[in-house]
Amino acid sequence: MHSIMEQIQTKRIVLGLTGGIAAYKSAELTRLLVNQGMQVQVAMTEAACHFITPITMQALSGKPVFTNQWGEHTANHMAHINLSRTTDAIMIAPATADFIAKLAHGLADDLLSALCLARNCPLLVAPAMNRQMWESPATQRNIQQLLADGVTILGPVSGMQACGEEGMGRMQEPTELARALLTFFQPKLLSGVKVLLTAGPTYEAIDAVRGITNRSSGKMGYAITQAALELGAEVTLISGPTALSSPHGAALVNITSAAEMFEAVQKHVADANIFIGVAAVADYRVAQPTGQKIKKSTGGLTLELFPNPDILGYVAGLPKPPFCVGFAAESHNLHDYAATKRKTKKIPLLAANLAQQAIGADDNELILFDDTGEHVLPRADKLTLARALLQHIVKLYRQGNKL
């Protein structure tokens, strides 16, 4: 019995390339999809072959590339039918303005467009073009038509373009497209559900340049944000200072101190169905931070510290609390401390890990504590763990709400 993620990660994809400069990014996209376990069959238009060679795409996908209808690849010369019948989705990346126009009108004068027209599987399109071409009424009309036809449009995004102009029209980055594909296949178990998350460290100022913080990287909180988005949740991420970029689709609220995090949580919690406290919140703040840098002196320096509010405790104590999930990073005595913490904070679910293994690392191991006991999520990268944790949350949340 394979998990949903395992089933998704082994999907068969046709990756179609059309003639745009962003085609070089499709090499990386192929690598990412293949590394995830997907079977990628590349099909390229003639124009695409001017930007990147089929040899490159063959080497990365491990399969001969289809470039025209009249090739030798298939015995019955019906590649456009055969390919679409054995695939779970077609993704066109990059999709030029010209190819989008062909799709919108049902033209089928080359293998890739014929394949799209003959498909009986979902089609995802990642546009890439000059900003003027993207904004032109013709392209916008064509995009509206594709949306009406049930095609998924991914991007484009705004930024510097190969032509030297700046604006909307850049293809989404390969990592975003790979994520979008995984998201696309996942059942939307949290559709209509609002998830509020805290992530990362907090920073408590001592003076103008110094502060108290911790080594939390935010990676686990951001991975959980990604996993919740994949399940169709509306996610608000309240994040302390991190070096990470927020997953596409989450509402990001940047804060610095625990007091600011508390204020942001108070502002957003009324709407939330699920609250997940992943942040490593500083337990104390400096009583009187100074606006100016403290100068060195020969004597010692004593800091008076005040306790910070317990944000998770506050949320769990609300008259009608959302479904609350806490984290515990312990250096020792993990089982006892975690079980006690769950009871003291009065939360239905707590995810515990060993601080020395978790903080800043790319992978981790979690033990989940709930009313039925302990559940081990074995060592894996943080996104895999986040997805497994979300599956557990969904189960308990649905049981609690009798869904």
- For 64-223, strand residue ranges (E) read 89-95, 123-127, 152-153, 157-160, 166-170, 194-199, 204-205, 211-212
- Of the two residues 231 and 312, which places its CB atom closer to ligand CTP in the complex? 312
- Of the two residues 104 and 315, which places its CB atom closer to ligand CTP in the complex? 315
Q: Are 364 and 353 in contact (CB under 8 A)?
A: yes
Site for ligand CTP in 130-169 (CB under 6 A): none
- Of the two residues 72 and 304, which places its CB atom closer to ligand CTP in the complex? 304
- Of the two residues 260 and 283, which places its CB atom closer to ligand CTP in the complex? 283
Residue 373, token pair as written in the block = 């006991």
Q: Which residues contact 44 (CB under 8 A, 6 or more apart)?
A: 16, 17, 18, 52, 54, 57, 65, 66, 67, 112
Q: How far apart are the C-alpha atoms of 101 and 295, rounded to whole Å?
A: 66
With CB under 6 A as the contact rule, which of the stretches 155-163, 305-313, 370-378, 389-397 interacts with ligand CTP? 305-313
Q: How far apart are the C-alpha atoms of 115 and 130, rounded to whole Å?
A: 26
With CB under 6 A as the contact rule, which of the stretches 3-11, 92-100, 243-251, 279-287 interacts with ligand CTP? 279-287
Is residue 49 part of the annotated active site? The answer reads no
Annotated binding site: 283, 293, 309-312, 327, 341, 345
Which residue among the candidates 49, 116, 121, 163 is catalytic per the annotation? 163
State the number of binding residues for ligand CTP (CB under 6 A): 16
Residue 38 makes contact with ligand CTP by CB under 6 A: no
- In terms of phi and psi (left: phi > 0; alpha: psi -120 to 50; beta: otherwise), the region of 82 is alpha
Q: How far apart are the C-alpha atoms of 146 and 103, rounded to whole Å?
A: 7
> ∠ at Cα 92 (35, 138), nearest 5°?
155
Among 207, 283, 363, 365, binds ligand CTP (CB under 6 A): 283
With CB under 6 A as the contact rule, which of the stretches 35-43, 71-79, 171-179, 322-330 interacts with ligand CTP? 322-330
Q: How far apart are the C-alpha atoms of 327 and 329, rounded to whole Å?
A: 7
Residue 311 makes contact with ligand CTP by CB under 6 A: yes
HSE value, Cβ hemisphere, 13 Å, CA-based, for 228: 27
- Residues 102, 104, 106, 107: what is their CA dihedral angle, to the nearest 10 degrees? -10
Residue 281 makes contact with ligand CTP by CB under 6 A: yes
Residue 312 makes contact with ligand CTP by CB under 6 A: yes
Q: How far apart are the C-alpha atoms of 64 and 99, rounded to whole Å?
A: 22
- Of the two residues 161 and 198, which places its CB atom closer to ligand CTP in the complex? 198
- Of the two residues 172 and 198, which places its CB atom closer to ligand CTP in the complex? 198
Residue 308 makes contact with ligand CTP by CB under 6 A: yes
Instruction: Report the nearest approach of ligand CTP to the CB of residue 376 (Å).
Output: 19
HSE value, Cβ hemisphere, 13 Å, CA-based, for 180: 24
Residue 201 makes contact with ligand CTP by CB under 6 A: no
Residue 329 makes contact with ligand CTP by CB under 6 A: yes
With CB under 6 A as the contact rule, which of the stretches 47-55, 177-185, 232-240, 307-315 interacts with ligand CTP? 307-315
Peptide bond into 156 cis (omega under 30): yes
Residue 277 makes contact with ligand CTP by CB under 6 A: yes
Instruction: Report the nearest approach of ligand CTP to the CB of residue 246 (Å).
Output: 18
Q: Are 265 and 238 in contact (CB under 8 A)?
A: yes
Q: Which residues contact 290 (CB under 8 A, 6 or more apart)?
A: 206, 207, 208
Residue 238 makes contact with ligand CTP by CB under 6 A: no
Q: How far apart are the C-alpha atoms of 215 and 255, rounded to whole Å?
A: 16
Instruction: Report the nearest approach of ligand CTP to the CB of residue 262 (Å).
Output: 8
For ligand CTP, what does the binding mask look like between residues 171 and 200, x meaning CB under 6 A? ---------------------------x--
Instruction: Report the nearest approach of ligand CTP to the CB of residue 238 (Å).
Output: 10
**Which residues make up the interface to ligand CTP (CB under 6 A)?**
198, 258, 277-279, 281, 283, 308, 310-312, 326-329, 341
Residues acting as catalytic residues: 163
